[in-house]
Structure 1
Amino acid sequence: MSDQIKHECGVAFIRLLKPLSYYQQKYGTSLYGLNKLYLLMEKQNNRGQDGAGVATIKLDVAPGNRYISRHRSMAKNAVADIFEYIQKKFADVQKEYPEEFHNADWLKEHVSFTGEVLLGHLRYGTHGKNSIENCHPFLRQNNWMTRNLMIAGNFNMTNTDELLQQLFELGQHPKEKLDTVTVLEKIGHFLDSEVQGLFDQYKREGLDDNVEITKLIANDLDVAKILKKSAKSWDGGYTIAGIFGHGDAFVMRDPAGIRPAFYYVNDEIVVAASERPAIQTAFNIPIGDIKEIKPGHALIIKKDGNISQKQFREPTEKKSCSFERIYFSRGSDASIYRERKQLGRLLCKQILDTVDHDLENTVFSYIPNTAEIAFYGMVEGVHKYIKCYQREQLLNRADKITDEELNRVLNIYPRVEKLAIKDVKLRTFITQDADRSEMVAHVYDTTYGIIKNDKDTLVVLDDSIVRGTTLKQSILKIIDRLGPKKIIVVSSAPQIRYPDCYGIDMSRMGEFVAFEAAISLLKDKGMEKVVHQVYQQCKDSADMPKEQVQNYVKAIYEPFTDEQISNKIAEIITPTNIKAEVQVIYQTLDNLHKACPDHLGDWYFSGNYPTPGGNKVVNKAFLNWMEGKNQRAYM
């Protein structure tokens, strides 16, 4: 992607179903769980590089001994930093107590992080604070083992204000207005209530032994009931993993399946993660053995090892995030790889029509690096067109083809080149705008001598265009130096028109070049009244219940075709003083859904939000833009 956008976040969960001694005997190490957690997190480091955290819980620890361990880091390589910290503990043990290093029971008793339940998290901060206190897992502590709670998640709630008010009404006083705090406290409140209710029940039944009661609570705690009560009012996209202090654990997914969640179970282990390839790689298992957690359901692992998947909210129409397929998730997932190639193939007709099928004078390339797979699909589509053209020319001619024409037809091929190469060594550390723009223009190197000056059309594929700033400031200037007659920028995603509020760092209207284009078109045509009408509608709806609110911002785009907006975007991103004509082509929504039929979440393109809170957020984002407030429209 030419304009980098950030993503929240990645989750890794492991529950060992056997004693640590089992893994020592079978795999030669008591650190089997930690080693696998490290792999799960490293294989998902694309999902968060602003921080990371790891937590573990030991089962059946005697009173007076620590059973919860947690370490978080904001280092540049946070995952490595965390595991170096953990590894040092075992290195010290190996040095001081070499005879005990392979004794799993001794390690569990004396060394932190030797737990059977493990939770990892990778964080991308959006507009919120970026400090160690904002890194997951979050911990809610209590002297009652069953009331301790840790959570880590990939989520955003659109209705944090409403959730905070509910906490106030329960008598709580949260210290921060963040969705992570509200989620933690909501689950914690109903965990406390469930524990207290069971305690009172056993007392009424005549049990006096509090130690025995605590064991019964751990056994009888209804995790699904707690989650059902906690999530009743949540509006957002989420995958949230949690562990109770005594060892019960869960991984829950929102009712629309917006955020991804995969899991694998055998007789030794339960594992869950945000991405399927991470599980495949870490455990060397076939793709068919990995399942998705169903929307509105939680994978629940009780302390005794019982595993179930239970519904906590009524599932809605599935709207899994299509941006996961286009950009965020690793392309090493088999289905994502196929879908990205299909996105490229489906662009071929638009591209070929735009270049008037002149393949002799067209060069195909892409903007590194995530567009590469879609580029392969696009090239395959061009090859397919060539084969059809050759067949038509050779089999369906009324006259005899000449040798010269035969050679010309048989020698048609797509001219495929890698022209833009990102210089990973270059850092644009200069802060003055004028100097910085000059430095940004050199972030990419180019391959010279490939383009026929003032004759070739250059087609460059990007996986999405958000702001268009990198295209304008660097990429288009650089490839213009190659001398093409025309540059066609192709996006394998549709036009990004609306903010996301479920976990992607796209929350301010002014950052979308498609929005800028629509506003410019309204001004060009003397239709500024539309902007003011939308503003008034958004203001009038600000205090309405979210269930009654519509997405009024759609009216900004309604007067124009996709092509008109694309042409205006081309004007906006074209730098001054370049020679080549610039044109922009976007994927259509219909083709996006054809390529990704199981991931129909497209609200950033269509404005059709899967939860009521989404409409509140988009209208608030428009209000912020109109009022000059450079802030996101949700907490």
Structure 2
Amino acid sequence: MCGIVGVFGHNPVSQVIYDSLSMLQHRGQDAAGIATCFEDRFYLEKGNGLITEVFDAANMARLLGNIGLGHVRYPTAGCASVAEAQPFYVNSPYGIVFAHNGNLTNVPDIVESLFHTDMRHLNTTSDSEVMLNVFAHALTRRGAVKPNEFDIFAAVEEVHRRCKGGYAVISVIAGVGMVAFRDLHGIRPLVFGSRTEGGKTEYMIASESVALQVSGFKIEHDLAPGEVIFISDAGELYTHVSLQAHEKAPCLFEYVYLARPDSTLDGASVYQCRINMGTKLAAKIKREWAHVPIDVVIPIPSTSRVAAQEIATRLNIPYRDALVRNRYVGRTFIMPGQAMRKQSIRRKLNPIPQAFEGKNILLVDDSIVRGTTIREIIAMVREQGAKKVYVSSAAPPVRFPNVYGIDMPARSELIANGKTVQQLATDIGADELIFQDLQDLKDSITEAEPGLAHFDTSVFDGTYVTGDVTEEYLATLEKQRNEAAKHTEDVASHITRNFSSRL
């Protein structure tokens, strides 16, 4: 889950890209980068941290040009070093900068062919750099002094043939133009828009619609599965949809947690989807929890707030925002390392005691993934004198790894894996626990946008839409993940010890 944005303008675009990245910061807090192009030369600034930490007046002033792209990152593959920050750059052919959201599932096979057949060098462990080199090699094979739209479309077709998984990509080719494309199933989101400035048309492509709206771009359409958009350096717009494309199957978890509520993804208002989730979960609570006495509904902010308000309305029970969020602590879900996530929870949320004392509480969460957050929150709520603590989740249990760009690939990290709902309730310390049904979750999106009928539901049911994810692949991924997690935990523990010793 990263955030990407590309802008083709007729005036300097660095500030527009920065403003759009600020609207996508929730999609990645590990690193940020902006690349612009001026007179066929790239200007690139990137580093670890939030955009406010990476960019200042001095380096923003160095980002010259009327075309460029930006990226906010959290790591799904490789490490979290600054070397992995995007955009990536290669100087052959033409010079290309590249920003990618998603994850490839066949990286080892591609890497082998890149080394031995294409004879290209990789400088990081990032699958984004792998995909960039596939794209660059495909352009090289076309042999054009200056590629046209047909060369671009053919190169992207080769990327689709060689790269499996979920991906959304924006790239700038020096002296050629901007290219954007989406994977063959439309798993990761990508939206295209335009605006008119001084009688000229400018374009923006981004992960979520809010990135366009902040700068006054009108949404034109979400890219279809396998669709590529090419904007030439002269401002000519070309589109193509791959014959390899499948029926659209966007990631269901985008609507549950990843996207902002004020975004529209593939035509569906995320806000309306979450209202629908609350409506359906309230109906299930009425059916199955008639015996459960609930005094107050409290969301675990902020992603679950919309669903929780709808649940309270439907159940005719008071709603209270009684867990106050510290906005200066990042999203714990995307923090690297379990120890860091756990330490951040109590700094992130602080309870209002009078809302809990002597009451039967219904906590509403958007989803339960690792269980770290909900377990700590239940403990906090009990410390405030709650009589009973019930928990509801707007999503079904997350029981399977994600391989398309969300940081939950190891089954050993998923608290619901191999457990019944009752076992889960005991594990997290809840008196009762209830989950949204998968069909109700899918219906919540379809009711908001009837054109959406198929989804990537792999984290809930283990069905991977690309059809190439095997048990062997998942086992290898989990082993790599566990080794990387252990290293991250060791580093975090070392930093914590050193910091504490200096206090």
Q: Contact 1:52–1:79 at 8 Å: present in 2 too? A: no
Q: Contact 2:309–2:319 at 8 Å: present in 1 too? A: no
Aligned amino acid, residue 10 of structure 1: G
**Which one of the candidate residues 69, 76, 83 is aligned to 1:133?**
83
Q: Contact 1:127–1:631 at 8 Å: present in 2 too? A: no
**Which one of the candidate residues 351, 357, 366 is aligned to 1:446?**
351
Quote how far apart the aligned CAs of 1:85 are: 3.1
Match of 2:50 in 1: 77
Cα deviation digits, residues 478-503 of structure 1 (max 9, x gap): 21134444221100011001010111
Cα deviation digits, residues 536-577 of structure 1 (max 9, x gap): xxxxxxxxxxxxxxxxxxxxxxxxxxxxx1111011112xxx
Mapped partners of 1:218, 1:567: distance in 2? 60
Question: Does structure 1 residue 255 correspond to structure 2 residue 184?
Answer: yes
Match of 1:459 in 2: 362
Mapped partners of 2:247, 2:328: distance in 1? 45
Quote how far apart the aligned CAs of 1:471 are: 2.4
Mapped partners of 1:358, 1:186: distance in 2? 56
Match of 2:426 in 1: 571
Quote how far apart the aligned CAs of 1:437 are: 7.6
Mapped partners of 2:342, 2:64: distance in 1? 50
CA gap 1:136/1:443 in 2 versus in 1, 3 angstroms: closer
How many residues are aligned here? 463
CA gap 1:307/1:506 in 2 versus in 1, 3 angstroms: same
**Which one of the candidate residues 594, 615, 620 is aligned to 2:475?**
620
Cα deviation digits, residues 506-544 of structure 1 (max 9, x gap): 011111111152xxxxxxxxxxxxxxxxxxxxxxxxxxx
Mapped partners of 2:26, 2:129: distance in 1? 25
Match of 2:133 in 1: 185
CA gap 1:265/1:470 in 2 versus in 1, 3 angstroms: closer
CA gap 1:223/1:370 in 2 versus in 1, 3 angstroms: same
Runs of 5+ consecutive residues of structure 2 not aligned to the other structure: 331-337, 447-451, 486-503
Q: Contact 2:360–2:389 at 8 Å: present in 1 too? A: yes
Aligned amino acid, residue 140 of structure 1: V
Mapped partners of 1:171, 1:507: distance in 2? 30
CA gap 1:423/1:68 in 2 versus in 1, 3 angstroms: closer
Quote how far apart the aligned CAs of 1:600 are: 1.8
Aligned amino acid, residue 72 of structure 1: K
**Which one of the candidate residues 31, 38, 43 is aligned to 2:23?**
43
Q: Contact 2:342–2:373 at 8 Å: present in 1 too? A: no
Aligned amino acid, residue 29 of structure 2: Q
Aligned amino acid, residue 593 of structure 1: K
Cα deviation digits, residues 121-162 of structure 1 (max 9, x gap): 1111235222222111111114xxx62111111021000011
**Which one of the candidate residues 588, 591, 595 is aligned to 2:437?**
588
Q: Which moved more, 1:156-165 or 1:239-248?
A: 239-248
Match of 1:149 in 2: 96
CA gap 1:318/1:437 in 2 versus in 1, 3 angstroms: closer
Mapped partners of 2:207, 2:329: distance in 1? 32
Mapped partners of 2:329, 2:171: distance in 1? 41
Any residues of structure 2 matched to 1:341-420 within 5 Å, and which? Answer: 341-356=275-290, 362-383=295-316, 414-420=317-323
**Which one of the candidate residues 266, 289, 294 is aligned to 2:224?**
294
Higher RCO (Cα < 8 Å, 6 or more apart): 1
Q: Contact 2:160–2:184 at 8 Å: present in 1 too? A: no
Quote how far apart the aligned CAs of 1:618 are: 6.1
**Which one of the candidate residues 153, 156, 163 is aligned to 1:227?**
156
Mapped partners of 2:329, 2:3: distance in 1? 28
Q: Contact 2:3–2:72 at 8 Å: present in 1 too? A: yes
Any residues of structure 2 matched to 1:534-545 within 5 Å, and which? Answer: none
Quote how far apart the aligned CAs of 1:345 are: 1.0
**% identity of equivalent residues:** 24
Cα deviation digits, residues 261-281 of structure 1 (max 9, x gap): 001134420110000111112
After TM superposition, the score normalised by the length of structure 2 is 0.84
Match of 1:469 in 2: 372
Aligned amino acid, residue 134 of structure 2: K
Higher helix share: 1
CA gap 1:590/1:220 in 2 versus in 1, 3 angstroms: closer
Cα deviation digits, residues 430-455 of structure 1 (max 9, x gap): xxx99x989966754323334573xx
Mapped partners of 2:445, 2:236: distance in 1? 35
**Which one of the candidate residues 394, 401, 405 is aligned to 1:499?**
401
CA gap 1:569/1:83 in 2 versus in 1, 3 angstroms: same
Mapped partners of 1:77, 1:438: distance in 2? 19
CA gap 1:71/1:183 in 2 versus in 1, 3 angstroms: same
Match of 1:515 in 2: 417
Question: Does structure 1 residue 277 correspond to structure 2 residue 210?
Answer: yes
Secondary structure at 1:338 match in 2:
helix
Question: Does structure 1 residue 158 correspond to structure 2 residue 105?
Answer: yes
Q: Which moved more, 1:613-622 or 1:123-132?
A: 613-622
Cα deviation digits, residues 576-598 of structure 1 (max 9, x gap): xxxxx611111100100110122
Secondary structure at 1:290 match in 2:
strand
**Which one of the candidate residues 238, 246, 257 is aligned to 1:327?**
257
CA gap 1:121/1:375 in 2 versus in 1, 3 angstroms: same
Secondary structure at 2:469 match in 1:
helix
Cα deviation digits, residues 226-252 of structure 1 (max 9, x gap): 111232121110001111121322100
Match of 1:536 in 2: none
Aligned amino acid, residue 15 of structure 2: N
Quote how far apart the aligned CAs of 1:173 are: 4.7
Q: Contact 1:261–1:272 at 8 Å: present in 2 too? A: yes
Quote how far apart the aligned CAs of 1:178 are: 3.4
Question: Does structure 1 residue 14 correspond to structure 2 residue 7?
Answer: yes
Aligned amino acid, residue 2 of structure 2: C
Match of 2:494 in 1: none
Quote how far apart the aligned CAs of 1:357 are: 6.4
Mapped partners of 1:324, 1:298: distance in 2? 22
Quote how far apart the aligned CAs of 1:54 are: 1.0
Runs of 5+ consecutive residues of structure 1 not aligned to the other structure: 1-7, 21-30, 90-111, 199-213, 384-413, 428-432, 518-564, 575-580
Aligned amino acid, residue 353 of structure 2: Y
Question: Larger Rg: 1 or 2?
Answer: 1
Secondary structure at 1:513 match in 2:
coil
Secondary structure at 1:415 match in 2:
coil
After TM superposition, the score normalised by the length of structure 1 is 0.68
Mapped partners of 1:445, 1:220: distance in 2? 54
Higher strand share: 2
Name the Cα RMSD after superposition: 2.9
Mapped partners of 1:227, 1:341: distance in 2? 38
Secondary structure at 1:515 match in 2:
coil
